[in-house]
Structure 1
Amino acid sequence: MSDPAANVLFSEPGARYRTIAYGPVLCGIVLGLEVIRGGQAHWFGLIFCGLLLAGFVWLQVIAGKRHISVELTPDTLREGTETLPLRSIAEVLPEIDEESWDDEDWESARALGELTGVPRRRKGIGLKLRDGGLVQAWARDHHTLRAELTAAVAALDGSGTPVAEAETAEGDEEKEAR
């Protein structure tokens, strides 16, 4: 059986679990300094604050993993909770011209996912759909996503099957005709 992670062309996790430990570690350092310094150590307060910080950050990490993660496979683009089949993408639109005064049409298009717009610290990528609509994909590393997405869309022909598979199928049909 093939490994699903092997088919991932691009991935951004949205948030990392290690950030949960930052608050408790900082509270532990403060507690350690209080013990070393010799005076009253605020055991309850620092442990409580560390657990409280860990709890709030845990909620943010869960939300980040669910809503701002990105994954591109040869067949689909998942942006947060929305999955878009690559066969429905007609074209990956060019980057914004920073010197131009005019806005591109796709800059005001709906962002993929269930968020109201492109998440902070991420950059939009214009996509033209086969039905004529415009949407925005987004990623922190938007240059890599744009390159991988452009290559993946180019690898698909109009029927939504990878070009290599389509050529193999055509070759099989020719062999059967002989």
Structure 2
Amino acid sequence: MSDPVANVLFSEPGARYRTIAYGPVLCGIVLALEVIRGGQAHWFGLIFCGLLLAGFVWLQVIAGKRHISVELTPDTLREGAETLPLRNIAEVLPEIDEESWDDEDWESARALGELTGVPRRRKGIGLKLRDGSLVQAWARDHHTLRAELTAAVAALDGTAAPAAESAVADAGPAEGDEEKEAR
């Protein structure tokens, strides 16, 4: 039985559970300072605020994990709640030319996932699908996702092997081949 984690090529969690603890820890530090200082400690208020902060952040973490997480496997690309099979991707489009005045067509295309656009602090990656439509994948580390996605689509199409063969052909003849050509 194969390990599903071993097949993940790229992953961004969207949010981390450890952020839930930041509010209660801060309230605990304030409470400890009040106790050390020797004045009146606001036990109820600080505990209540710590729990309230933890509750609100817990909701945000759940939403982040559900809607802005990214996972690339050899067969699928999951952006939030939407999963796109890699066999549906015809091409990973090149990056935006920062010095160009023109916008790329894919920049106005639909973003994958169930959000209305590319989430904040993430960059879009243009994808051309086999049916001719354009969509945007997105990630915080968009350079790594672009490289992994390009390699995965090429491997799925079988275009990775001819590239390796052409690199061997460009290297020139082997030592034994030169002797054969001289004869």
Contact 1:71–1:78 (Cα < 8 Å) also in 2? yes
In 2 relative to 1, CA 175–156 (structure 1 residues): closer, same or farther, beyond 3 Å?
Answer: farther
> Is the CA contact 1:126–1:135 (under 8 Å) kept in the aligned structure 2?
yes
- Is the CA contact 2:125–2:138 (under 8 Å) kept in the aligned structure 1? yes
Distance 1:34 1:100, change over 3 A: same
The alpha-carbon deviation at position 156 of structure 1 amounts to 1.2
| 1:56-78 deviation per Cα after TM superposition (whole angstroms, max 9, x unaligned) | 00000000000000000000000
Q: Matched residues in 1 for 2:182 and 2:12: separation?
A: 46
1:144-163 aligned at under 5 Å gives the runs: 144-157=144-157
Compared with structure 1, are the counterparts of its residues 52 and 74 closer, same or farther at alpha carbon in structure 2 (3 Å cutoff)? Answer: same
Cα distance change, pair 166–98 in 1 and its aligned pair in 2 (3 A):
closer
**Would the alpha carbon gap of residues 3 and 166 (structure 1) be closer, same or farther in structure 2, given more than 3 Å must change?**
farther
Shift of 1:157: 2.0
What is the percentage of aligned positions where both structures have the same residue?
94
Q: Which moved more, 1:152-161 or 1:129-138?
A: 152-161
Structure 1 position 161, deviation (Å): 14
Q: TM-score, normalised by structure 2?
A: 0.86
Runs of 4+ in 1 over 6 A off after TM superposition: 158-178
Alpha-carbon distance change, 39 to 98 in structure 1, aligned in 2, over 3 angstroms: same
Counterpart in the other structure of 1:101: 101
Contact 1:86 / 1:160 at 8 angstroms: preserved in 2? no
Larger radius of gyration: 2
Structure 2 unaligned segments of length 5 or more: list them: 163-167
- Superposition CA RMSD, Å: 6.6
TM-score (norm 1): 0.89
CA contact (8 A) 2:154 2:160 kept: no
Asked if structure 2 preserves the Cα contact closer than 8 Å seen for 1:17 and 1:58, the reply is yes
